[in-house]
Structure 1
Amino acid sequence: MTAPDDTNPTQDWLEAELADTLDEDYELELEDAVLSQEIKKIYKTHHPDTIDRRVYFQSLIRLQSELIKLQDWVQHSKEKVVVLFEGRDSAGKGGVIKRITQRLNPRVARVVALPAPTDREKTQWYFQRYVPHLPAGGEIVLFDRSWYNRAGVERVMGFATEDEVQDFFHDVPEFERMLVRSGIRLVKYWFSITDEEQQMRFLMRIHDPMKQWKLSPMDLQSRVRWELYTKAKEEMMAQTNIPEAPWYIVPGNDKKRARLNCIDHLLSLMPYGEVPHEEITLPDRVFNPAYERAVLPPELYVPAKY
């Protein structure tokens, strides 16, 4: 007698989808894999108590499920959310932004990372090029660096005069108060790392062919001008830490903990909750017995090399 078939195609498919999801996480985590053995040894020496991988993934997936609830609430309530990510080069801003947006709808949550201003933009009101990227109702905008470039890189590298910097300090509190009065929820994060940790991450980028593109001449100059950046950051926070839009500092030496702590904190600032959803049912497929699928020429298909 043949044993009953316990195979459940739907369950198999769901397990395969979950495996693909975890593969995405592993791909992101493997970004540090291509390193010289010597750099790996040094890195492990400086990070002996890094968070367990299983604990990290479990926590990350739980937080990302909450981010989806936040996204649904923002859409349903027509909220407007702006999150600024600032910090030194290699401080981990990009890593946390990737994890925040990884499972969200790009039509709801989008990332803004503006290049250096054009000659035309240099003649505009300083905040003008940022305003078009602000959210409408039901949107979340994550700025990977923001108008605070003026208080940081532009000041330290001499791209802005001291008068322009002081004008910025005078204007930015009122600009941000205007955003908040308009209904925008504005959150500002500074990712903080030590001198030694930045040096380590720069060395990792130098030795990792997949990360060398992240190193620019400007980044290398930031190592030379570490103390100037520190002074600029301290004055920036003293001048722009307002009750309507305070700064939140994320200790970033441990990248995984920094990501989890930042996402958890961001969620804690938002009064989101469950929103009503219509029940989704899959409609029946309509079959037309007279329809015959056309055979497409083989040259239209991508070669199956893998």
Structure 2
Amino acid sequence: MSGKSAAHRIADDVYKAELQRLQTEFVKLQEWVRTTGARVVVIFEGRDAAGKGGAIKRITESLNPRVVRVAALPAPTERERGQWYFQRYAAALPTRGEITLFDRSWYNRAGVEKVMGFCTPDEHSRFLEQAPVFEQLLVDDGILLRKYWFSVSQGEQLRRFRKRRNDPLRRWKLSPMDLEAVNRWDDYSRARDEMMAHTDVAASPWYVVESEIKKHARLNMMAHLLSTIPYSEVALRQVDLPERPVDTGNYQRPDRENYRYVPDYAATLTREA
């Protein structure tokens, strides 16, 4: 589904300025959600290395984790495998005044579980029938649900895998499942197409994010999400900081020797410089 040329990229200073502007808007959205009691669910789906995590990071880095939570569920436990499929995802849904960002979601069943054989054909078919019904229930209950599919080309995905492999800070992100995805590209494509055909519905449509250029994808997704929610700026209470109180002499700080201070490692770097 990707095909956008990477030849034209926005300048870094333009990207940083627009990212900051959008992040400021997300703070406004957060405060609107918190004060109005709205509930927001955003689903991030797409192939491995498509840029989902990077977009989530840029959205959340200036937000309150008590209001905006990221749900990245691990593989289901034996107990969870015996439950209604949507049950563990329902437990992660927001309460009033919260936003939940699903870094992968119940759509695991339509993708990796289908392709890797982690579910039966009947379970997969049942999921495609039930997902729109489940989402309709969420929407009917007042949840603002948004679903994003990050689309990346085969060549760009492989390039990002190689970059991860060579980066000691990101090598942990490269799993055997990622490598298997390279060999099963067409299988994942067919699974995605079938998923879209069944679950791209009026009440909970899919929005495709062209993710060949990560920075563009982040700005596009963030701007679009903000445009779909009717938030408004909430006037925050003005905080007046008190003057520093006068030292009354009634408190005497204990000697430093009574505490275990962390060694000044930074000072050694300063001396070396």
**TM-score bin (small chain):** over 0.9
Deviation at 1:288, TM superposition (A): 3.6
* Alignment partner, residue 229 of structure 1: 188
Cα distance between partner residues in 1 of 2:85 and 2:248: 60
Which is worse superposed, 288-297 or 137-146?
Answer: 288-297
> Is 1:241 matched up with 2:210?
no
Deviation at 1:183, TM superposition (A): 0.9
SS, match of residue 148 in structure 1: helix
SS, match of residue 256 in structure 2: coil
Structure 1, unaligned runs of 5 or more: 1-45
Q: Deviations over 1:85-139 (max 9, x none)?
A: 0000000000000000010011010101001011111000000111111001110
CA RMSD of aligned residues (A): 1.2
Cα distance between partner residues in 2 of 1:97 and 1:267: 14
> Is 1:173 matched up with 2:132?
yes
Cα distance between partner residues in 2 of 1:211 and 1:279: 42
SS, match of residue 126 in structure 1: coil
* Alignment partner, residue 252 of structure 2: 292
Aligned length: 261
Q: 1:186 aligns with which of 126, 130, 145?
A: 145
Q: 1:199 aligns with which of 155, 158, 171?
A: 158
Cα distance between partner residues in 2 of 1:70 and 1:288: 44
> Which structure ranks higher in relative contact order (CA pairs < 8 Å, sequence separation ≥ 6)?
2
Deviation at 1:298, TM superposition (A): 7.0
Deviation at 1:48, TM superposition (A): 4.0
Q: 1:99 aligns with which of 58, 78, 86?
A: 58
* Alignment partner, residue 250 of structure 1: 209
Q: 1:157 aligns with which of 103, 110, 116?
A: 116
SS, match of residue 200 in structure 1: helix
> Is 1:53 matched up with 2:39?
no
Structure 2, unaligned runs of 5 or more: 267-273
Deviation at 1:145, TM superposition (A): 0.1
* Alignment partner, residue 177 of structure 2: 218
SS, match of residue 300 in structure 1: coil
SS, match of residue 250 in structure 2: coil
- The one-letter code matched in structure 1 to 2:229 is M
* Alignment partner, residue 270 of structure 2: none
Q: Deviations over 1:221-263 (max 9, x none)?
A: 0000000000000000110011111000000000000000000
Q: 1:125 aligns with which of 79, 84, 97?
A: 84
Cα distance between partner residues in 2 of 1:221 and 1:242: 30
- The one-letter code matched in structure 1 to 2:211 is G
Which is worse superposed, 295-304 or 231-240?
Answer: 295-304
Cα distance between partner residues in 1 of 2:101 and 2:144: 12
1:3-22 paired onto structure 2 within 5 Å = none
Q: Percent identity?
A: 54
Q: 2:101 aligns with which of 142, 146, 156?
A: 142
Using structure 1 for the length normalisation, give the TM-score.
Answer: 0.83
> Is 1:265 matched up with 2:246?
no
Cα distance between partner residues in 2 of 1:238 and 1:146: 18
Cα distance between partner residues in 1 of 2:58 and 2:145: 19
* Alignment partner, residue 304 of structure 1: 264
Deviation at 1:297, TM superposition (A): 2.3
